[in-house]
Structures are given as C-alpha cells and as structure tokens.
Amino acid sequence: MTNYFKEHIDFQMLSITVTLVIIGLFSIYSATYDAGASENSFRQLLYALAGLLVMVAMTFLPLRALQFASYPAYFLSILLLVSVLLLGKTVSGSTSWFNLGAFRLQPSEFTKITTVMALATFLSRSDVSLHSMKDLAITTGIILLPVTLIMLQPDTGTAMIYLCMSLPLLYWAGASRFTLLAVVAPLIGALTALFGTTPFLIALIVLGILIWLTKEHRIVAAVVFSITVLVGISVQSIYSGLKPYQQKRIDSFLDPNADPLGAGYNVLQSKVAIGSGGLFGKGYLKGTQTQLNFIPEQWTDFIFCVPGEEFGFVGAVAVLTLFFLLLVRGVWLASAVKNRYGSVLALGLTAIFAAHIFINVGMALGLLPVVGVPLPFLSYGGSALISTMTMVGILLNLYVNRKEY
C-alpha cells in the first residue's frame, strides 16, 4: 500500500502546495486583521476548500479525457472572454469579472490553463513542427487570441503572464534559438526604449549581434531586427495612448519617487514593509506597515509584504524557497513524463507559476511595474486560488500517468 501511494501521489508537490496555501491563509488573516476586511480571510478559506476539491478531481481525471477536452475548453474560455467584455463587471478600470454574488469569476485566470492545454495538444501532434511557418503561425495565434481579448479589458498584467509563459513552452516544444529571439527582441526593444535613447541603442547593438550569431537567413533576420527597431521607436506613441492610470504605473516603475502619494505609493510602502522586517521579522500580527494599513488592500497583489515584514528575511526566503522547489518539481515532472502532450503541458503550467512569482515579487520589491498580478496560493481571490490549485491537480495527474506514452 505504501508503494502504491508513493507511485501515484507526488507528496513533494502536494506538501509544498498545502504549505503555501496555509501561509497564504495566515498572511491574509494578518493583512485584514485591522483593515475592516476580516471576512476576506474566511472567504479565502472557503476558496481554498473549493480549490482542494477541484485539485483532487483533476488528479484522478483520465489523462486522455483531459487531452480530449483541451480544444473544447479553450474555445469555451475564449467565449467567456468575449462575454466578459460585454456583460462583465468593471473594477478599477478593468472589465475582467463576472459578478456571481459573493464570488467574482475572472475567466482570464482559467484561460491560462486552457491555452496551455490547447498548445500542448497541438504541439504534441506528430505532423506539427515549430520549424514550419504555418505551424508557428497557428501556435502564435492560439496565444495571441486570448491575449488580445484580455488587453481589451484591459488587463496588462494577465496578458504579460501569457507572453512570459510562452517562451519556455516554445523552447520546450522545440523552437529554434532564432524563433525565441524573434519573440523576445521586440519586447526588449520596447522596454529599453522607456528608459531613453541610450539604453535603447545599446539593446539594439546587443540584439543585432545575437541575431547575427543565430546565422538565420539574412532577409528574415533583417525583418526581425527592423520590427524591433520600429517597436522601440513607436513606444512613446503607444505610451501616449495608454489610460492615465496605466501611464502612472509605468512612471512609478521607472521612478517610484516621482509620485510617492499616488501610483508609486504602494511600491514605496511595500519596500518599507519588507525592509523593516529585518532578519527575523516583527512577529505575527505585529507588522506595523501591515497592521496600520499603510498598503491599501495588501491582501491582494502585495501579500508578499506580510511574511517579509512579520517574519523578516528568513520568512521571505522560506516562501521563495517553497516556490523554487515547486518550480523545480514542475520542470522535473516535464522531463519525467513520457507522453509528449503531458510533458509540454507540465512545462507550460510550471511556466505560468514562474511568471506569476517573478512578476509579483518583482512588483513588491519595486523591480517591476505594478501590473496587478497575484502571488500564487498567497494572494486573496477565488478565481486565482482555484485556478492555481487546478494547475496543481493537473500536475499531480501527470505524475500519476508519467510512465504512459
């Protein structure tokens, strides 16, 4: 019996997940303790229990049934993204939710999963190759369709998750170095252009050398480089077309002190909270920044400040270590799964976790712009928590079926 459980249950991933969920529940309770939002901690507990049920169900679902449902689930999620634009609830300038009474359903959280499932199904076909322009175009279309709909909400943070998870997934599926560089180069050009002409020119020189080293056809390489240049040049005009709150988020990222009482306020207070925790922290429910509500709605995007302030450097490192172990386990599983669909799916889901962790922690530390990306298992939110536990359930399913071809 012991061997059976060892063979069919990934206790490492399961224990990491449960530990992170518990840390999240305690962190949310602390963040809402004196903020007049204590009911959120109870709701999160209910979301965690619902997520646990979904996780168990996904674990024991037949893998073939999961693969068979990939395309229908993807098209259903696209339909929901269209519907939310027409019928959804607008919160903080973004129409991203269906208001279902006490529960707000955010379709984009679940579309991340169905997009990876659809990509895994397509890329696992024996007649598909990312070296084919047609197959690469179809793959790009599967990714860009939900991204476009999400940008219309607008929800820049969630759209970034899709783009970030695409690169490791494409690499795992066999994309060439040039293909990956062609995807990344315009993004780097756009980002460096925000910092000024000199950083942009340096980036162009480095990217030009890298593109040349790939030894791709000169015309194709020239097209990619030209697109990178045009994207960088057009950044300012695109910036002018953004909504004021989006412009402020970019400005506060480049210089949080430029608007210390506005867009940069949360970032500055977050850095103060984490820094004030010292080595061992101030103790549970004793964090001054947290308990005095210096960070508005800290239990959502800035939840990482709670263990950082109350348990200090040790607590923050412990949380990051758990996330690191989760990612390592996910990559190991992608390597261990014999089925190509399962391998690509495992890597794609792990990449979603990695993107969320990297962007959210970067936001909390002031290293990345504030784009509204929750921290997996810790941030408050029913859709976010249930979707992440759904992903864990799929990973546990792949562990059970890892030897199936």
Tens digit of pLDDT for each residue in 300-317?
888 999 999 999 999 999
Closest CA to 223 of 256, 196, 186: 186
- Cβ pair 285, 259 in contact under 8 A: no
**Interval 123-132 mean pLDDT:** 88
Question: Strand locations in 174-216, DSSP E?
Answer: none
Q: Cα(204)–Cα(88) distance, rounded to whole angstroms?
A: 41
Tell me the helix, strand and coil percentages in the chain, rounded to 5: 70, 5, 25
| Mean pLDDT confidence for 245-271 | 62
Distance in angstroms (rounded) separating the CA atoms of residues 170 and 33: 43
**Do residues 387 and 113 make contact, with C-beta atoms less than 8 angstroms apart?**
yes
Per-residue confidence (pLDDT) for residue 252, from 0 to 100: 54
pLDDT tens across 43-90, in order? 999 999 999 999 999 999 999 999 999 999 999 999 999 999 888 877
Q: What is the pLDDT of residue 9?
A: 87
**For 140-157, how does the pLDDT look when each residue is reduced to its tens digit (9 = 90+)?**
889 889 988 888 887 878
Share of the chain above pLDDT 70, in %: 89
Distance CA 331, CA 197 (A): 38
The residue to which tokens 């998870």 are assigned: 165
| pLDDT, average across residues 362-368 | 85
pTM confidence score? 0.88
**Helices then strands (H, E): number in the chain?**
18, 3
The backbone torsions φ and ψ at residue 242, rounded to the nearest 5 degrees and listed phi first, read -70, 160
Which residues does residue 99 pair with via DSSP β-bridges, in sequence order? 104
* pLDDT value of residue 175: 86
C-alpha to C-alpha distance for 298 and 36, rounded to whole angstroms: 12
